[in-house]
């Protein structure tokens, strides 16, 4: 049986939590961009940038 310190357990838990949160964020972004692509045929980011810049 391996002896594990409390700091090792805490570090492992934090890194696992961070990985889980990152995976959830990636899925949310995928869903968002999928929704955007389905709702619009063409997105002209360059033109929107110029319009925003003029304001």
CA angle 8, 5, 14 (to 5 degrees): 25
The pLDDT value given to residue 25: 92
Residues 4-20 pLDDT 10s: 888 888 888 888 898 89
What number is the average pLDDT over the span 22-42? 81
Q: Collect all residues with Cβ–Cβ distance below 8 Å to 31 and sequence separation of at least 6.
A: none
* Percent of the chain residues past pLDDT 90, beyond the cut: 13
The CA distance from 32 to 40, in Å, is 12
pTM of whole model > 0.95? Answer: no
Label residue 45 by pLDDT band (50, 70, 90).
low
Domain edges within the chain: 6-54
Q: Looking at the predicted structure, is the pLDDT value of residue 52 above 60?
A: no
């Amino acid at each position: 049986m391996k002896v594990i310190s409390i700091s090792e357990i805490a570090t492992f838990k934090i890194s696992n939590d961070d990985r889980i949160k990152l995976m959830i964020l990636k899925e949310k972004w995928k869903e968002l961009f999928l929704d955007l692509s389905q709702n619009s045929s063409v997105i002209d980011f360059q033109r929107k940038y110029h319009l925003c810049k003029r304001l």
